[in-house]
């Protein structure tokens, strides 16, 4: 078993020459390192923090903001091995097919490939996050003992399902740093390097490839990494910040010749500030408001989502999902626009009428920084 390296112990001026350098020891970086562990390639996994939380490392996330207000940059992420899985809630769900489509009403939309390109890898990802067998929207049949799903009518809303990461020996989600520390140490060609901060991606003179990485420690040590391949796995914010600050060759920042780096950050909608779903129903089955474990299966929760057909027809950009939040009224649900006595979710006719009113607030979007989806 190989112990992790501490960058603070390296002499200044050290040059490391791995085949692949992975910047970031969060879920993406750890997953990639483990996926490559059995190849003949030498992998350097660069993690800015250590094995546990350190206020000095966390402070490096700080920074000023402009534009749409957001939480403090050092408040929503954690800078040590395992990244944001160190405090995530374990919510898991794949993106919808429409999230990959180019939509005329949504500028710059469309991925370069459809969801089917990712589907061969979903099972392995599901195993890494330890969310149980792949069920998701097939979950309803296993919840019959807790009551049938709410009938949704023709309004464009359907019952969708989340599964939850849950480690084998506890109720907590999988914290990638602790969970996979042992496997990383056993991988002979993977070298995790802690306390090493990449301060610049230095491009070749023509700007077409990475020449080297500048790395430093909070103790003042500096050294160089010269990989054949560089992988950015530091999250939606830090990837962009690192590319933009690496502007010695490309003045707009590495890879930013189209001025798009950092332009498409997306995170979970903040409840109460986006939309409100109000539904008429009888007593909701418990799985709409709480996490329930299927018999010898995953931990799941039902939510409400707009259908792909509704999103196409009404040009809703994100796949918002919702969870029940109590009894609604005209004051607690100001975005509700009642028509013919039926509820609305951004104009969606709601579920079948005939019972007490309940409300829900959006908790999840189509993309995130460290989110579960």
Check residues 281 and 99 and name the one with the higher pLDDT: 99
In a domain, 293, yes or no: yes
Where does the pLDDT of residue 344 fall: very low under 50, low under 70, confident under 90, or very high at 90 and above?
A: very low
In a domain, 36, yes or no: yes
**DSSP string covering 148-172, please?**
PPPP-TTSSEEEEEEEE---TTSSS
Where does the pLDDT of residue 315 fall: very low under 50, low under 70, confident under 90, or very high at 90 and above?
A: confident
Give 111's Cβ-side CA count (13 Å radius).
Answer: 15
| Shared-domain flag, residues 142 and 215 | no
* Portion of the chain with pLDDT greater than 90, in percent: 53
In a domain, 102, yes or no: no
| Shared-domain flag, residues 187 and 145 | no
Contact 174, 87 (CB under 8 A): no
In a domain, 96, yes or no: no
| Shared-domain flag, residues 57 and 41 | yes
| Shared-domain flag, residues 299 and 230 | no
Where does the pLDDT of residue 362 fall: very low under 50, low under 70, confident under 90, or very high at 90 and above?
A: very low
In a domain, 28, yes or no: yes
174 Cβ contact partners less than 8 Å away, ≥ 6 residues apart? 85, 90, 128, 129, 130, 165, 166, 167
Phi-psi region of 299 (alpha: psi -120 to 50; beta: other; left: phi over 0): beta
Taking 70 as the threshold, does the pLDDT of residue 343 lie above it? Answer: no
| Shared-domain flag, residues 9 and 145 | no
Where does the pLDDT of residue 254 fall: very low under 50, low under 70, confident under 90, or very high at 90 and above?
A: very high
| Shared-domain flag, residues 217 and 144 | no
| Shared-domain flag, residues 138 and 53 | no
Range of the domain at 335: 133-164+267-364
In a domain, 292, yes or no: yes
83-139: pLDDT as tens digits:
999 999 999 999 989 999 999 988 888 999 999 999 999 999 999 999 999 999 888
| Shared-domain flag, residues 224 and 290 | no
Q: DSSP state, 98?
A: G
Where does the pLDDT of residue 167 fall: very low under 50, low under 70, confident under 90, or very high at 90 and above?
A: low
Looking at 215, 245, 275, which one is the last position of a domain?
245
Coil vs helix vs strand at 110? coil
| Shared-domain flag, residues 344 and 212 | no
64-88: pLDDT as tens digits:
888 777 889 998 899 999 999 999 9
Domain harbouring 32, CATH code: 3.50.50.60
Q: What is the C-alpha separation between 155 and 26, in angstroms, rounded? A: 40
Looking at 197, 213, 245, which one is the last position of a domain?
245
**Single pTM value for the model:** 0.84
| Shared-domain flag, residues 155 and 297 | yes
| Shared-domain flag, residues 200 and 282 | no
Q: What is the C-alpha separation between 345 and 337, in angstroms, rounded? A: 9
Looking at 210, 245, 280, which one is the last position of a domain?
245
In a domain, 119, yes or no: no
In a domain, 357, yes or no: yes
- 220: nearest Cα among 13, 59, 80, 47: 13
Is residue 198 within a helix (H) or strand (E), and if so which, with residue range?
A: strand 197-203
pLDDT at 54: 96
| Shared-domain flag, residues 205 and 69 | yes
Number of CB atoms found within 10 A of residue 79's CB: 27
Contact 21, 213 (CB under 8 A): yes
Q: Give how many domains the chain has, as a whole number.
A: 2
């Amino acid at each position: 078993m190989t112990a992790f390296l501490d960058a603070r112990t390296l002499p200044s001026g050290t040059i490391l020459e791995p085949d692949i350098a992975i910047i970031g020891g969060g879920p993406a970086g750890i997953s990639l390192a483990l996926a490559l562990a059995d190849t003949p390639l030498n992998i350097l996994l660069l993690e800015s923090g250590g094995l546990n939380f350190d206020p000095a490392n966390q402070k490096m996330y700080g920074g000023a903001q402009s534009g749409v207000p957001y939480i403090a940059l050092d408040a929503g992420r954690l800078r040590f091995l395992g990244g944001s899985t160190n405090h995530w809630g374990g919510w898991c769900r794949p993106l919808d097919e429409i999230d990959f489509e180019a939509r005329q009403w949504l500028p710059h939309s469309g991925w370069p490939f459809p969801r089917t390109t990712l589907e061969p890898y979903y099972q392995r990802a599901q195993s890494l996050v330890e969310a149980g067998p792949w069920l998701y929207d097939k979950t309803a049949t296993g919840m019959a003992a807790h009551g049938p799903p709410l009938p949704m009518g023709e309004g464009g809303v359907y019952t969708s399902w989340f599964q939850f990461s849950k480690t084998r020996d506890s109720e907590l989600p999988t914290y990638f740093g602790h969970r996979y520390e042992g496997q990383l140490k056993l991988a002979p060609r993977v070298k995790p390097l802690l306390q090493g901060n990449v301060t610049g991606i230095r491009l070749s003179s023509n700007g077409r490839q990475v020449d080297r990485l500048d790395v430093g420690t909070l103790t003042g040590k500096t050294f160089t990494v010269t990989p054949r391949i560089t992988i950015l796995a530091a999250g939606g914010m830090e990837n962009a910040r690192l590319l933009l600050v690496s502007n010695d060759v490309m003045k707009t920042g590495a890879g930013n010749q189209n001025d798009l780096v950092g332009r498409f950050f997306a995170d979970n909608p903040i409840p109460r500030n986006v939309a409100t779903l109000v539904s008429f129903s009888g007593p909701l089955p418990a799985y709409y408001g709480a996490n329930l474990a299927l018999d010898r299966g995953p931990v799941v929760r039902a939510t409400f989502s707009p259908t792909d057909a509704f999103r196409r027809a009404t040009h809703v950009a994100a796949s918002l999902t919702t969870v029940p939040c109590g009894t609604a009224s005209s004051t607690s649900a100001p975005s509700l626009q009642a028509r013919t006595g039926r509820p609305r979710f951004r104009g969606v006719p709601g579920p079948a009428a005939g019972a007490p009113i309940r409300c829900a607030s959006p908790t999840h979007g189509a993309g995130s920084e460290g989110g579960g989806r």
